[in-house]
Amino acid sequence: MAFKPKRTGKAKQKTKNPRKPFFRNEKFRFILGIFVLLVSAYLLIAFISFLFYGAADQSRLDLPWKDLVLNSDVKVENKAGKTGAYLSEMIINQGFGLASFVFIFLFAVTGFKILGHNLVKYRRALIFNLVLILWISVTLGFFFQKTSATSFIYPGGHYGMVLSNWFSSLVGKTGLVFLLLISILAILVIRFEKVYEFLKGLFRRKPRKKAEQESLVVNEEEEEIENETVAEDTFSKVIDDDVVKAVFEPDLEEEPVEVKIPEKEEDSETDELELTVQEKKEEEEIDKEHSGEEMEDYDPTLELSGFKFPTLELLEDHSYGNAEVSNEELIANKNRIVETLRHYKIEITKIRATIGPTITLYEIVPAPGIRIAKIKNLEDDIALSLAALGIRIIAPIPGRGTIGIEVPNQNPETVSMRSILSSRKFQESTADLPVALGKTISNETFMFDLVKMPHILVAGATGQGKSVGINVIISSLLYKKHPSQLKFVFVDPKKVELNLYSVLEKHYLAKLPNEEEPVITDIQKVKYTLNSINVEMDQRYDLLKKAHARNIKEYNKKFISRRLNPEKGHRFLPYIVVVIDEFADLIMTAGKEIELPIARIAQLARAVGIHMIIATQRPSTNIITGVIKANFPARIAFKVASMIDSRTILDTPGANQLIGKGDMLIASGSSMTRVQCAFIDTPEVEKICSFISEQRGFPSAFLLPEYEDGEDAGPGEVDLNNRDELFEDAARIVVLNQMGSTSMIQRKFSIGYNRAGRIMDQLEAAGVVGPSEGSKARQVLMQDEYTLEQLLNSFN
């Protein structure tokens, strides 16, 4: 019974709300937006005229409204006419005084918002400006009381005057001045993070002053970036957007543009067959700046709100002088393919060419009755007759019903990083960790979401483009993710490849506490770091469990909407991408000690936002073991020396037939794509890094939890003579809060979980807290600070 009215009510609501779609109607919104903008322009004219001609118009405004409206002989000086004069009188004089100009700003911003342009974070701006109007109005009302009696204009407006009089009567004039000062301070501190930081800096201890001043210099520059449109909006877009596109497969929806090449009448037999060429699709490139939706609630980017993403200008265009594949080359290849196949009695009915940046794909449709295996077996013969290295035959091409023959172009094209980063596909990507890697055979930008991969194994012989590939992946992420959203852990036993990223320490890097080098090169430290990432992973799982979230995205969403309490240990979780450059060196030296934590991270870390990219130039089975392979479903192979190497990486041959210089095969699940990796030079990477590192960063790198080598003393064997330095402070905090929580200690002192746990064990041994009660906080045995101080004194 109780359900019935509810349901009908809902149904009613649905049918009775026909206005909703009307408001969503694009045309209506467009007209409304323009209207609001025009109204704000009109009010601006009216208000400014009012300042100049208001005095002259006063007498006319005193006329009865009928005379004013209906009698066209009554004229006013205001440039917006009688309506403008009247509105100005009502809003400025009878309303909020000169503060009313802020209304015009709000109107304009609203107009733009309706038109779909978020100039500012709307809700915040609305609240801030309304409060500001009140403040200005009361302040002017208070200070210009006397003039308002003689002049036609009331600077604070009627309301400003009434309110200021009321406040003065309540708290006196001096009290009101104080009230105005404290309220403007509060408004500015809440609204502008920089004001807060500046004021906080004034009250800090002296030795820090210099650093603060430096950061202020940067802040002033940042002031110019109006309302965080660039950096934050990109962030908000990524964070807010639920829809994450799978971008792994190349788009096949669009029909290729087919161009028929008229052949010269030379060879009679091969001429019968027409070659259709799929024209290069010119991908749309946009140089647009990052833009996105507004964001409210907790803003993780706020601490570095002025952060500017690297610009595309930092990148070179390497594609100049790129040679096109000539019609002669196409026809010659086609004729050779047809001839060779005919030689082996294989007839074909159709042949089509798709020109890629480094290879051209010839797709053939064999005559009915021809066995595919027969063509596959002729791979070497076709390669020989085409006198080209790196022919790869795909028989059949999945989903196409054709057989593909990939032939390298005589003049390969360099795909510049700039071109793929400026592609619309990348710019408008809503992926969580978008990576643009290069171009496919059909000249489309090849992209994937690292979150979905979720770990990548990169392998290839030396000098085939592996390091460039890794730089491309890292740079893509740097162009899209704010430092608060992404942290890298770089492991580089070779000490040269990833070192150039060390300048990003305070923006993008994560490291162990007390570790000096931001890029890890020492094998022992790699072991600690990987284990520490395992601890971080476990901690994150605990947080997710507490928050009833299934993955990091859900968790962060809850955190951003302030549904998780930081007091209970919750924090915004950035993605962590672990990049290991020469994986073989590590396995050779440390073996299982390295392999196992890597495998564990690969198995479990996906849901908590930890992803791994491991690279090796030695694709042998003792390096890429079964355990590694099983946990790295996504693999990128650059050219390798032998078919066996290719099988080790991809489980299939093919990588041995690549042509090098960034030519690669990407296997993910059952799909395999040939992609020309984009090219990014070391100076370009350096430019990106210095662009970022010159901006203000976090005070330190992101600290991973401490990891102890399993030699921790258990609670039973705690040695109180060897107390942690923080023991006393921790004891005081626990007694003061009457809460025996390890995560509270961890948070208050910014220390790792292990250390906090050890302190807690010492507190237990000292009788300050009771034994562990699982996930609950421990009971605090010491009731007051006096007893505690007595205990602490007994130790000294």
Ligand X SMILES: Nc1ncnc2c1ncn2[C@@H]1O[C@H](COP(=O)(O)OP(=O)(O)OP(=O)(O)O)[C@@H](O)[C@H]1O
Binding site for ligand X (CB under 6 A): 414, 460, 462-468, 617, 661-662, 677, 679
Q: How far is the CB of 649 from ligand X (least distance, A)?
A: 13
Tell me: is residue 460 an annotated ligand-binding position.
yes
Which of 147/462 has CB closer to ligand X? 462
State the residue number with the nearest CB to ligand X.
Answer: 662
* Token pair in block for residue 139: 């302040």
Helix 81-88 to helix 26-61 angle (10° resolution) is 80
Annotation-wise, does 442 bind a ligand? no
Strand partners, 404: 363, 394
Does 461 carry a binding-site annotation?
Answer: yes
| In the complex, minimum distance from the CB of residue 619 to ligand X, in angstroms, rounded to a whole number | 12
Question: In the complex, what is the shortest distance from the CB of residue 408 to ligand X, in angstroms, rounded to a whole number?
Answer: 13
**Cβ-based burial of 498 (10 A; exposed 0-12, middle 13-18, buried ≥19):** buried
Min. distance of Cβ 468 from ligand X in angstroms?
4
Whose tokens are 């040269």? That residue is 496
Gap between the Cα atoms of 553 and 348, Å rounded: 51
We find the least distance from the C-beta atom of residue 523 to ligand X, in angstroms, to be 19
Contact partners, residue 675, CB within 8 Å, separation at least 6: 437, 438, 439, 440, 446, 664, 665, 666
Residue placing its CB nearer to ligand X in the complex, 574 or 662: 662
Q: CB of residue 119 vs ligand X: minimum separation in angstroms?
A: 40
Given the complex with ligand X, which of 114 and 457 has the nearer CB atom? 457
Q: Which two tokens stand for residue 17?
A: 């709300």
* Calpha distance 555→539 (Å, rounded): 13
Please give the Cα distance from 465 to 470 (Å, whole number): 9
- Report how far residue 467's alpha carbon sits from residue 460's, in angstroms, rounded to the nearest whole number: 10
Q: Which is nearer to ligand X, 466 or 606 (CB)?
A: 466
* CB nearer to ligand X: pick between 405 and 468: 468
SS (H, E, C) 728-782: HHHHHHHHHHCCECHHHHHHHHCCCHHHHHHHHHHHHHCCCECCCECCECECECC
Residue (172 or 463) nearer to ligand X, CB: 463
Cβ–Cβ under 8 Å, residues 609 and 543: no
The b-or-e profile of 395-419 (16+ CB within 10 A means b, else e) is bbeeeeebbbbbbbbeebbbbbbbb
For residue 300, whether the previous peptide bond is cis, meaning omega lies within 30 degrees of 0, is: no
Cα–Cα distance, 442 to 283 (Å, whole number): 10
Q: Which is nearer to ligand X, 375 or 417 (CB)?
A: 417
Cβ 473 to ligand X, closest distance in Å? 12
Rg of the chain's alpha carbons, rounded to an integer? 34
At 614, the amino acid letter reads I
Nearer to ligand X, 664 or 734 (CB): 664
- The burial of 537, by beta-carbon neighbours within 10 Å (0-12 exposed, 13-18 middle, 19 or more buried), is given as buried
The smaller minimum CB distance to ligand X, of residues 3 and 320, is found at 320
Find the shortest distance in angstroms from Cβ 639 to ligand X: 9
4 is in an annotated binding site: no
Shortest Å distance, C-beta 456 to ligand X: 15
Torsion angles phi and psi, residue 580, rounded to 5: -115, 115
H or E element that contains 553 = helix 552-560
End-to-end distance of the chain based on CA atoms, in angstroms? 73
Contacts of 6 (CB under 8 A, 6+ apart): none
Rounded Cα–Cα distance for residues 455 and 615 (Å) = 11
Contact 60, 85 (CB under 8 A): yes
- Taking the C-alpha atoms of residue 177 and residue 617, their distance in angstroms, rounded to an integer, is 72
Query: In sequence order, what are the residues at sequence separation of 6 or more whose Cβ sits closer than 8 angstroms to the Cβ of residue 247?
Result: 425, 429, 431, 434, 447, 448, 449
Q: How far is the CB of 501 from ligand X (least distance, A)?
A: 15
C-beta of 407: minimal distance to ligand X in Å? 18
- Give least dist CB 437 to ligand X, A: 10
Give the distance from CA 61 to its chain's centroid: 56
Task: Give the residue with the Cβ less far from ligand X, 235 or 679.
Answer: 679
**148 or 676: whose CB is closer to ligand X?**
676
Instruction: For ligand X, give the closer residue by CB, 654 or 662.
Output: 662
Q: Is 466 labeled as ligand-binding? A: yes
515, 525 contact by CB (below 8 A): yes
What torsion do the CA atoms of 162, 163, 165, 171 make, to the nearest 10 degrees?
A: 160
Distance of closest approach, residue 439 Cβ to ligand X, in angstroms? 10
CB distance 520 to 541 below 8 Å: no
- Residue 380 contacts residue 387 (beta carbons within 8 Å): no
Considering beta carbons, is residue 468 or 745 the nearer one to ligand X? Answer: 468
Residue closer to ligand X (CB basis): 443 or 464: 464
Cβ 417 to ligand X shortest distance, Å: 9
Nearest to ligand X of 318, 540 (CB atom) = 318
**Contact of 76 with 53, CB cutoff 8 Å:** yes
- Residues sharing a CB contact under 8 Å with residue 665, sequence separation 6 or more, in sequence order: 636, 637, 650, 654, 655, 658, 672, 673, 674, 675
Q: Cβ of residue 654: shortest distance to ligand X, in angstroms?
A: 17
Q: Is 740 annotated as a binding residue?
A: no
Binding-site annotation, residues for ATP? 460-467
Question: Which residue numbers belong to the known binding site?
Answer: 460-467
